């Protein structure tokens, strides 16, 4: 069913007009595509697209009133004879020595001026350009005004340079007339190397079986049928196929009419470029043939990336240090003042990591931010975990993308790997660990500790005073008593006991609060590290995915 | 028919151009000579059959084609021809599509034996025409054994249509080959095979085609092979005959083919039977008639082509041998890339163990939990007793969670490391292969990642190793004191300590950083171990455990690398295919010189009469 529809469309395509603005928009889309994939896809795959953009730009800027038609074919098929017969002048050398024509010859119908720049661009030497002025002839030549007919060299002879010239010219002309003859119409080189390449240019392709006079009238239809079968196999179904003979003008009527139509429509250049765009788009399609992955990479992968980053950044170590430091500092503030001093001999775990200590002055935070930390280097295992996590992110993000993109995603994910350690260090150093404030309750407890210690001291002093007075034989003051116990004794013992008691009571509280502080710090640190991961790993990945999306959209626009 | 080396042949052969012979072997007595040749050729055939070119090197595709062409040539022509030097002369008519090969053959044998027509390509399956007297030889199927003989025309390219034509003199046979340049790919391959089996090439081209690139390539290869060639320039417009023939002669001379007789046939209309007028084919028929009548000339042609084909074997086989060597070299280079990647992985693991830093993080934390607090090292000696109690309690009393956690921590760290390095190595190997044309062809996407079951295998590896360490601790207890102490701490705990020691073996002297970061417990671990075992025992145990671990890791990585390495194995079919090919070719060369084929003193092609040179 679709086959029939396709053939119908192909059959009608000849009459379909190509809108110039539309073509320009499509070319622009190709340009956007090239911009988006630049650096992500190997240049070797983009050569045709780059060539197209450049060539199309130039062709559209040159005369659109002219139609450049090339006669292409194998050596000895009679291209030059046909050329001369169409021009009705002996312009291109004809001969029996093979190969005959070595360079392209051009003939312009109508005034030369508009076509000069076109021929310069195509690369036909001035001495091989001819003008078919209508003044010489009857009016029948005016209908061909605007035709620039090129006689190309052969592409199958021992002269390799001819083939290169043909390949170059075939990329530039608007319409190609393939000239084959009864001897050579089934040659491999014509079909495999050339006709099959013009599948998407069916509306600017014409095939003529030249030297038809060498076949008997009975044989001609059979050969034409066979040739049509070969063309169908080349994917050129629906291409006009004509039999011509250069020896008399009657054998050329069909070709002339076809050329007149093409010249009158002024469409060949646009159709040719449109076909080029089709070819390029089809060739590039597989580069962007799947949808942009939605919300990639997924939560799990990001989670494992964050965990790996945290491990590599030493978050557990810092969090542990926070807990230690909390206990240390809380102990220093709320501990029993009698033994508080010797605690100071032990280092603060956070300070050991070179992380901001408790008493940073408010005007110096910047300095503490830039200073590198002494958080332990990641171990080999942590490094491996980080590598695995980044790889997993890249793999997930690029999983469904076509060929060169997964590599591009992986490269992007690793692009800032070298900056990662420093960034992580920075993030750790810049994270508020919540250790800069002394909680009120530390001070309260500290105050109580001081109070009870002072009470104990006062009691001690009082007792000592009484003891001293007694030693000196002076009358000792009467101690006020609370119940049976003298007040100074109560103060001394009660103070000491209360201090110990407060220390004992606050100890589990401190441990609990230290764990809280650790969790809080861990949360902040993980968030900071996750942000680093986002900035250094996921952002580059997203950038590549964005470019993929742009490229895909651009190519879809170009495919219209 | 003559036997080779017959003096009569030498004197009687018509001389057109000088040919190279080997004067030093010309003395070899005839009759005993050709014996070695078939054996040497059979050996070469086997060597070629054994050569493989699976790696996608630039030389591989040509080598594959050359190898199959050589094998075909040996089977189709050289071996059967050597077996019967007096068999009829086979003229293969080859050339471009539409050149008029079939018409020419029909006209030469004066019968419509091969279908001619305007549709290209006309001939799809080869047609062999011979005198009825010769038909038994061709029907036997020694020549071109791959083609089925039929007596009916078919379209199947794997058949050979045999036709007898009484008009054809005995001792001469024509083979109408398919074209060499049409869209039908099978034709081209078949034509090449047939031309390789020809005693004489009758190469047909036309005025429109004589400068085509494809036939000239074939002619160059024929010249390289020393085949006897006669050219027919067909379908020449009468007015262009002189110019075109002169140009073609120039081109032939430029290609060193000036000695080939050239016949020019004008473009004309065929008669009702589809045959060319007698007048047109007369020079060619006369030439063939002379060739048919002169047995010596025929034998000389056969010898020329045979010797040329044999002589061309040596350089061709040399090229094959080089391609085979390249395959091996490329396979080695690819293997080396893979090995380098996995060696790097192994090194990373070794470094990871040696620098002791793997111990940090989780392992360290668990160790701390396990042995108590980090403070104990200051009063180590005093606390050993308490520690022992704790450890013993932990090991014996309740199933100690901290010990299990420690073991898990070691496991997970190691597994992560192993997964990391294998994934890195796989990627390196993948990238390295991708950069190599032959490597890129062997890759499949899965290879870029470690094998799917790697995590399980790595976990298994670590568990096996841990079990091995415990066994080791038990087995090492030869020393009484050691046993006593080990018993006191339980094998489990000792094993764990040894595992720690494996990671921390260089940390006998703590680095400044470690002390600074509170990793002094690494030192503590060592100190505990030494207190338990004594210095030397710890070293021995740790070394053994480490060696064991590295062995296991190497085995794991080798398995991973094998995924790549098996892919290049194919490229090494024999021990040394290249040398084998060279030896076989050398034997053929020696046998050829001995056989006396080379000492005929002129090509057997008579000069055309009435045609032009």
Asked whether the predicted pLDDT for residue B506 surpasses 50, the reply is no
A/B interface, count of CB pairs below 8 Å: 159
- Cis amide linkage into residue A297, ω under 30° from 0: yes
If you search the block for the tokens 């869209």, which residue do you land on?
B183
Taking the CA atoms of residue A81, residue A84, residue A85 and residue A87 in that order, the dihedral angle to the nearest 10 degrees is 160
Residue of B nearest to A385 (CA): B416
Rounded to a whole number of angstroms, the distance between the first and last alpha carbons of chain B is 29
Short-list B412, B426, B424, CA closest to B455: B412
Q: Kindly indicate the confidence band of residue B17, based on its pLDDT and cuts at 50, 70 and 90.
A: very low
Q: Does residue A187 sit in helix, strand or coil?
A: strand
In percent, the amount of chain B with pLDDT more than 90 equals 14
Asked whether the predicted pLDDT for residue B391 surpasses 70, the reply is no
pLDDT at B556: 94
pLDDT digit string (tens) for A175-212? 999 999 998 898 999 999 999 989 889 989 999 999 99
Q: How far is CA A494 from CA A489, A503, B353, in A?
A: 8, 14, 57
- B183: nearest CB among A99, A191, A316: A191
pLDDT digit string (tens) for B535-578? 666 667 777 888 888 899 999 999 999 999 888 887 676 667 88
Tell me whether residue B117 is exposed, middle or buried, using C-beta atoms within 10 angstroms of its C-beta: 0 to 12, 13 to 18, 19 or more: middle
> Between B13 and B165, where is the model more confident?
B165
Mean pLDDT in residue range B523-545: 64
pLDDT at A121: 92
Q: Do B517 and A353 touch (CB under 8 A)?
A: yes
Mean pLDDT in residue range A372-398: 77
Query: Do residues B172 and B89 make contact, with C-beta atoms less than 8 angstroms apart?
Result: yes
Query: Do residues B10 and B601 make contact, with C-beta atoms less than 8 angstroms apart?
Result: yes
Distance from CA of B343 to the nearest CA of A (A): 16
pLDDT digit string (tens) for A104-152? 999 998 887 778 899 999 999 988 888 876 555 555 677 888 899 999 9
pLDDT at B403: 60
pLDDT digit string (tens) for A291-304? 877 766 677 888 88
Residue of A nearest to B361 (CA): A317
What secondary structure, in 3-state letters, does B434-467 show?
A: HCCHHHHHHCCHHHHCCCCCHHHHHHHHHHHHHH
Tell me whether residue B508 is exposed, middle or buried, using C-beta atoms within 10 angstroms of its C-beta: 0 to 12, 13 to 18, 19 or more: middle
In percent, the amount of chain A with pLDDT more than 70 equals 89
Q: Kindly indicate the confidence band of residue B532, based on its pLDDT and cuts at 50, 70 and 90.
A: low
In percent, the amount of chain A with pLDDT more than 90 equals 26
Residue of B nearest to A374 (CA): B517
For chain A positions 99-118, those within 8 Å of chain B (CB to CB) are: 99
- Considering chain A, what is the average pLDDT of its residues? 84
pLDDT at A365: 40
pLDDT digit string (tens) for B121-155? 888 888 999 989 888 888 888 888 888 888 888 88
Residue of B nearest to A380 (CA): B352
pLDDT digit string (tens) for A203-238? 899 999 999 988 888 889 999 999 999 999 999 988
The interface predicted TM-score (ipTM) is: 0.72
pLDDT at B23: 40
> Between B604 and A338, where is the model more confident?
A338
pTM of the model: 0.76
- Minimum mean pLDDT range among A493-502, B33-42, B509-518: B509-518
CA distance B290 to B313: 31
> Between B220 and A299, where is the model more confident?
B220
Q: Kindly indicate the confidence band of residue A416, based on its pLDDT and cuts at 50, 70 and 90.
A: confident
- Minimum mean pLDDT range among B232-236, B271-275, B520-524, B563-567: B520-524
What secondary structure, in 3-state letters, does B135-149 show?
A: HHHHHHCCCCCCCEE
pLDDT at A297: 66
pLDDT at B397: 40
Q: Kindly indicate the confidence band of residue A165, based on its pLDDT and cuts at 50, 70 and 90.
A: very high
Q: Do B118 and A219 touch (CB under 8 A)?
A: yes
Asked whether the predicted pLDDT for residue A80 surpasses 80, the reply is yes
Q: Kindly indicate the confidence band of residue B510, based on its pLDDT and cuts at 50, 70 and 90.
A: very low
Report the DSSP beta bridge partners of residue B232: B204, B263
Q: Do B212 and A75 touch (CB under 8 A)?
A: yes
CA distance B64 to B42: 19
Residue A257: partners with Cβ closer than 8 Å, 6 or more residues away? none
Query: Do residues A379 and B414 make contact, with C-beta atoms less than 8 angstroms apart?
Result: no
> Between B293 and B412, where is the model more confident?
B293
Q: Kindly indicate the confidence band of residue B318, based on its pLDDT and cuts at 50, 70 and 90.
A: very high
Q: Say if A210 is an interface residue toward chain B (CB within 8 Å).
A: no
Q: Kindly indicate the confidence band of residue B426, based on its pLDDT and cuts at 50, 70 and 90.
A: very high
Chain A residue numbers with beta carbons less than 8 Å from the beta carbon of B182 are 186-188
- Minimum mean pLDDT range among A457-471, B168-182, B267-281: B267-281
Q: Kindly indicate the confidence band of residue A344, based on its pLDDT and cuts at 50, 70 and 90.
A: low
pLDDT at B598: 57
- Identify from B186, B212, B344, B503 which residue to disrupt to test chain A contact, counting A C-beta atoms within 10 A and taking the largest count: B212
CA distance B235 to B248: 14
Distance from CA of B296 to the nearest CA of A (A): 37
CA distance A497 to B609: 139
- Cis amide linkage into residue B163, ω under 30° from 0: no
- Identify from A75, A186, A193, A417 which residue to disrupt to test chain B contact, counting B C-beta atoms within 10 A and taking the largest count: A186
């Amino acid at each position: 069913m679709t086959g029939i529809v396709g053939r119908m469309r192909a059959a009608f395509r000849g009459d379909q007009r190509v809108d110039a603005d539309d073509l320009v928009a499509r070319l622009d889309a190709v340009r956007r595509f090239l911009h988006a994939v630049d650096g992500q896809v190997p240049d070797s795959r983009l050569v045709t697209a780059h060539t197209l953009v450049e060539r199309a730009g130039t062709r559209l800027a040159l005369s659109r009133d002219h139609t450049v038609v090339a006669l292409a074919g194998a050596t000895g098929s009679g291209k030059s004879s046909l050329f001369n017969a169409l021009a009705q002048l002996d312009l291109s050398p004809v001969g029996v020595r093979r190969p005959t024509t070595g360079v392209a010859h051009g003939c312009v119908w109508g005034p030369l001026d508009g076509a000069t720049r076109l021929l310069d661009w195509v690369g036909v030497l001035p001495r091989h350009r001819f003008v078919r002025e209508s003044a010489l002839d009857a009016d029948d030549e005016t209908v061909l005004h605007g035709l620039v007919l090129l006689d190309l060299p052969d592409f199958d002879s021992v002269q390799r340079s001819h083939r290169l010239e043909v390949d170059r010219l075939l990329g530039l002309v608007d319409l190609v007339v393939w000239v084959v003859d009864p001897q050579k119409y089934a040659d491999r080189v014509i079909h495999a190397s050339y006709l099959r390449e013009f599948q998407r240019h069916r509306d600017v392709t014409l095939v003529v079986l030249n030297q038809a006079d060498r076949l008997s009238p009975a044989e001609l239809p059979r050969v034409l049928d066979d040739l049509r079968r070969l063309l169908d196999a080349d994917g050129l179904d629906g291409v006009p196929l004509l039999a011509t003979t250069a020896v008399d003008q009657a054998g050329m009527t069909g070709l002339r009419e076809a050329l007149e139509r093409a010249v009158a429509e002024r469409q060949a250049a646009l159709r040719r470029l449109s076909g080029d765009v089709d070819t390029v788009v089809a060739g590039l399609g597989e580069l962007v043939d799947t949808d942009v992955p939605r919300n990639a990479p997924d939560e799990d992968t990001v989670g494992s990336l964050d965990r790996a980053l945290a491990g590599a950044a030493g978050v557990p170590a810092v969090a542990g240090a926070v807990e230690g430091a909390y206990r240390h500092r809380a102990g220093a503030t709320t501990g029993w003042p009698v033994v508080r001093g010797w605690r100071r001999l032990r280092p603060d775990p956070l300070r050991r990591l070179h992380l901001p200590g408790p008493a940073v002055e408010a005007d110096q935070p910047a300095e503490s931010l830039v200073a590198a930390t002494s958080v332990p280097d990641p171990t080999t295992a942590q490094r491996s975990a980080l590598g695995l996590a980044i790889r997993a992110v890249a793999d997930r993000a690029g999983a469904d993308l076509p060929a060169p993109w997964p590599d591009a995603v992986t490269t992007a994910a690793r692009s800032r790997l070298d900056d990662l350690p420093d960034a992580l260090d920075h993030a750790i150093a810049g994270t508020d660990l919540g250790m800069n404030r002394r909680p009120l309750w530390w001070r309260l407890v500290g105050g109580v500790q001081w109070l009870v210690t002072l009470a104990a001291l006062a009691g001690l002093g009082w007792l000592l005073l009484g003891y001293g007075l007694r030693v000196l034989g002076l009358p000792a003051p009467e101690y006020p008593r609370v119940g049976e116990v003298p007040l100074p004794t109560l103060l001394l013992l009660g103070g000491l006991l209360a201090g110990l008691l407060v220390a004992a009571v606050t100890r589990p509280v401190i441990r609990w609060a230290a764990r809280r502080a650790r969790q809080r710090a861990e949360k902040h640190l993980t968030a900071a590290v996750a942000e680093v991961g986002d900035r250094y790993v996921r952002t580059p990945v997203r950038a590549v995915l964005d470019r993929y999306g742009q490229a895909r959209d651009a190519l879809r626009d170009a495919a219209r | 028919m003559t036997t080779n080396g017959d003096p009569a042949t030498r004197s009687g052969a018509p001389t057109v151009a000088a040919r190279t012979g080997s004067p030093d072997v010309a003395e070899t007595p005839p009759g005993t000579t050709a014996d070695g040749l078939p054996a040497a050729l059979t050996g070469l055939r086997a060597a070629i059959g054994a050569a493989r070119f699976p790696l996608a090197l630039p030389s591989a595709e040509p080598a594959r084609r050359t190898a199959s062409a050589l094998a075909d040539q040996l089977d189709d022509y050289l071996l059967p021809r050597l077996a019967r030097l007096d068999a009829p002369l086979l003229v293969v008519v080859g050339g471009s599509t539409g050149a008029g090969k079939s018409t020419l053959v029909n006209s030469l044998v004066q019968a419509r034996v091969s279908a001619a027509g305007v549709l290209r390509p006309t001939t799809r399956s080869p047609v062999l025409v011979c005198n009825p007297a010769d038909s038994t030889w061709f029907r036997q199927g020694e020549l071109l054994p791959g083609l089925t003989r039929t007596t009916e025309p078919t379209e199947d390219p794997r058949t050979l249509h045999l036709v007898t034509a009484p008009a054809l003199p005995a001792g001469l046979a024509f083979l109408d080959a398919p074209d060499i340049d049409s869209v039908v790919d099978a034709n081209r391959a078949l034509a090449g095979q047939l031309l390789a089996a020809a005693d004489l090439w009758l190469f047909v081209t036309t005025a429109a085609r004589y400068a085509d690139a494809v036939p000239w390539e074939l002619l160059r290869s024929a010249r390289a092979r020393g085949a006897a060639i006669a050219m027919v320039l067909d379908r020449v417009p009468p007015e262009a005959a002189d110019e075109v023939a002169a140009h073609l002669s120039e081109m032939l001379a430029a290609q060193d083919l000036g000695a080939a007789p050239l016949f020019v046939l004008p473009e004309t209309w065929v008669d009702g039977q589809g045959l060319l007028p007698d007048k047109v084919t007369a020079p060619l028929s006369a030439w063939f008639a002379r060739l048919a009548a002169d047995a010596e000339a025929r034998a000389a042609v056969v010898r020329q082509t045979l010797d040329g084909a044999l002589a061309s074997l040596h350089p061709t086989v040399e090229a094959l041998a080089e391609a085979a060597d390249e395959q091996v070299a490329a396979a080695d280079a690819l293997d080396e890339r893979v090995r380098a990647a996995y060696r790097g992985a192994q090194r990373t693991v070794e470094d990871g163990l040696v620098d002791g830093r793997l111990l940090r993080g989780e392992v360290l934390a668990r160790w701390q939990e396990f042995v108590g607090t980090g403070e104990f090292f200051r009063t180590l000696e005093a606390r050993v007793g308490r520690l022992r109690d704790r450890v013993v309690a932990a090991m014996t009393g309740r199933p100690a969670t901290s010990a299990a956690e420690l073991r898990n921590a070691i496991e997970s760290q190691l597994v992560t490391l192993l997964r990391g390095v294998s994934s890195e190595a796989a990627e390196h190997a993948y990238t390295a292969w991708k950069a190599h044309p032959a490597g890129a062809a062997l890759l499949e996407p899965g290879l870029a990642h470690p094998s799917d079951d790697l995590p399980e295998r790595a976990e298994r590896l670590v568990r096996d190793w841990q079990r091995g360490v415990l066994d080791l601790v038990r087995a090492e207890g030869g020393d009484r004191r050691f046993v006593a102490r080990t018993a006191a701490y339980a094998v489990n705990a000792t094993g764990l300590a040894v595992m720690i020691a494996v990671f921390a073996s260089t940390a006998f002297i703590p680095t400044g950083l470690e002390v600074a970061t509170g990793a002094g417990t690494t030192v503590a671990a060592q100190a505990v171990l030494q207190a338990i075992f004594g210095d030397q025992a710890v070293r021995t145990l740790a070394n053994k455990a480490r060696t064991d671990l590295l062995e296991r890791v190497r085995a794991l990585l080798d398995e991973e690398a094998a995924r790549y390495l098996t892919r290049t194995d194919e490229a090494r079919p024999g021990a040394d295919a290249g040398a084998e090919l060279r030896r076989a070719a050398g034997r053929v060369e020696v046998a050829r010189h001995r056989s006396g084929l080379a000492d005929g003193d002129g090509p057997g092609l008579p000069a055309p009469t009435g045609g032009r040179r």
